Amino acid sequence: MDKRILIIGGGPGGYVAAIRASQLGAKVTLVEKQDLGGTCLNRGCIPTKALYKSAEVINMINNSKDFGIMVDYYNIDVNMLQKRKSDVVDKLVGGIKVLLKSNGVDIIKGNATIKDEYNVSVVKEDGKVININTDYMIIATGSQPFVPPIKGIESNGVLTSSELLEFEEIPESLTVIGGGVIGLEFAGIFNAMGTKVTIVESLPNILNNFDKDIYKRLASYLKRRGIKILTNTTVEEIASVEYGLNLTVSGKKGERILKSEKALISTGRRPFIEGLGLDRIGVSYNKGIKVDENFRTNVKNIYAIGDVIGGAMLAHVASHHGIIAAEGIMGVNNIKNTDVIPSCVYITPEVASVGYTEDYLKDKDIDYKTSKFMIGANGKAITMGETDGFVKIIADESNRILGVHIIAPHASDIIHEGTIAIAKGLKVEDFSDIIHGHPTVSESFMEALMGITGEAIHMAPQKKRR
């Protein structure tokens, strides 16, 4: 008899798990209460990247005179921006639906509640309630924005990322509360559109978990573009006023008021576990559902993947979890690497990072050396007029690659060379006979690598040791 697997949640974790389980011969049912693709495709990764591309075009127009092209006037049509964003989302969501159906996955739109370890109750769109009996479950319900307990947080004009994505007019000013990935991406988008942007971050740095050279250099680039950054600063209160919002903030200079038309809450996300019925069946959870290395919960036939378990809340991580869980249920025990995770920030210039940071290695008293190739010396970057940034490599004393940190055009594409290198335990010497195409920005990765051994051609040796 085929194994029956019920998956709750059709985001990048759930739908990938469904397809992989079906490939392995399972009879799969996928329950999704909203839209296939989850937050990533509908309210996160994809719509923000569609707007990011529009922001890139605006930045190109603003700098077109550097390329000998004079643009005297242009207009931003918000309706067209939103239509393009929606068209991109619809195309991808439609593609997922086709993939699921072509793999024989039964899709049910409705809200699922776990009744016991083998039964789930689903309230469908039409109000009809059905019961689904299954052998295994995979919980992939994702996450939702974390809204901090700030006085006045419910004021008109205070928005989550999902709400801001649906903007109908470009705000004159925007205060971004939180200097992490989500906040910075929105800051870059609206800055390009002409909005006066202020970032308020309670920690000492924006992108505080990234390598120190990343967040220091990026902060200087953003300030140069007119984005105001307030670190070590907290929002104490928000009040609605005639022109928008007054935000009372507290920092090194004491309390003051920031005036802003809109405010974005981008202080992170939390696992979505409400209403699943976890307590009824005894599934252990704290901030997220607790799982083992195969993503099995303490209830033997129930698994959980992606944002709902906490940790790195990234779409590509959820998809990877989904494959591991599906294969585990189906008896495929391949070893999968879940520790080496690339992180990308879609802003101009792009940021990407994988592996250890300098601060981490210092804290652990691990000897290391670094090499940094400046993008301003890369031929392709110069022709593109995008010369801000660097590629930084961190290696141990045996030249094994430990970390790769990039600010550069196409950083989100280049980072995967570093991801493979770290995941496979490669050394600098393993790249010495690999030819990189010219002219490409990825040549900068090779130059930075060879800088570790003092063999870079297009830069002076820059390795430093502890």
- Interval 187-237: pLDDT, tens: 999 999 999 999 999 999 999 999 999 999 999 999 999 999 999 999 999
pLDDT tens readout for residues 30-85: 999 999 999 899 999 999 999 999 999 999 999 999 999 999 999 999 999 999 99
- What average pLDDT does this structure show over 347-362? 97
Q: What is the pLDDT of residue 461?
A: 64
* Contacting residues for 254 by C-beta, under 8 A, at least 6 apart: none
What is the predicted pLDDT for the residue at 48?
Answer: 96
466: in domain: no
Number of domains in the chain: 3
Of 384, 393, 313, nearest to 349 by C-alpha is 384
- Burial string for 22-48 (b: 16+ CB within 10 Å, else e) reads bebebbbbbbbbebbbbbbbbbbbbbb
| 431 plus 383 within the same structural domain | yes
CA gap 233, 254 in Å, rounded: 9
Same domain, 230 and 181: yes
pLDDT in tens, 250-279: 998 899 999 999 999 999 999 999 999 999
pLDDT at res. 462: 55
pLDDT digits (tens, 9 = 90+) for 278-308: 999 999 999 899 999 999 999 999 999 999 9
- Asked whether 216 and 179 are in contact (CB, 8 A), the reply is no
Contacts by residues 330-334 (CB-CB < 8 Å, ≥ 24 positions apart): 330/3, 330/21, 330/24, 330/25, 330/26, 332/24
> With 60 as the cut, is the pLDDT of residue 392 above it?
yes
Is position 389 within any domain?
yes
pLDDT tens digits along 414-435: 999 999 999 999 999 999 899 9
Residue 26 maps to which CATH number?
A: 3.50.50.60
The pLDDT confidence band at residue 1, using thresholds 50, 70 and 90, is: low
Same domain? For 9 and 127 the reply is yes
Q: What digits encode the pLDDT tens for the residues 439-454?
A: 999 999 999 999 999 9
How many whole angstroms separate alpha carbon 178 and alpha carbon 221?
18
416 is catalytic: no
Establish if 150 belongs to a structural domain.
Answer: no
Q: CA 380, 382, 386: angle at the middle one, nearest 5?
A: 100
Q: Is residue 284 part of a domain?
A: yes
Phi-psi domain of 463 (left: phi exceeds 0; alpha: psi -120 through 50; beta: other): beta
Phi, psi of 209 (to 5 degrees): -85, -5
Residue 226 falls within a domain, yes or no?
A: yes
Q: Measure the CA–CA gap between 119 and 133, rounded to whole angstroms.
A: 5
Share of the chain above pLDDT 90, in %: 92
Please classify residue 262 by burial: count the beta carbons closer than 10 Å to its beta carbon, then call 0-12 exposed, 13-18 middle and 19+ buried.
Answer: buried
Q: What is the pLDDT of residue 406?
A: 98
Q: For 149-195, how does the pLDDT look when each residue is reduced to its tens digit (9 = 90+)?
A: 999 999 999 999 999 999 999 999 999 999 999 999 999 999 999 99
Predicted pLDDT of residue 247: 97
Distance in angstroms (rounded) separating the CA atoms of residues 8 and 14? 7
Q: Do 67 and 98 belong to one domain?
A: yes
Looking at residue 452, what is its pLDDT?
Answer: 95
Report the pLDDT value the prediction gives residue 338, as an integer from 0 to 100. 85
Which residues are paired to 119 by β-bridges?
A: 116, 133
- Name which of 132, 100, 126, 125 is nearest 110 in CA terms: 125
Inside any domain, residue 338: no
Catalytic residue, chosen from 405, 416, 438, 458, is 438
133 and 171 belong to one structural domain: no
Q: What is the largest CA-CA distance in the chain?
A: 70
Within this chain, do residues 137 and 167 fall inside the same structural domain, yes or no?
A: no
Which of 297, 329, 361 corresponds to the end of one domain?
329
The number of residues making up the chain comes to 466
Range(s) of the domain holding residue 443: 349-459
Same structural domain for residues 140 and 276? yes
Residue 271: which region, alpha, beta or left (left: phi > 0; alpha: psi -120 to 50)? beta
Average pLDDT of 322-326?
96
Shared-domain flag, residues 262 and 276: no
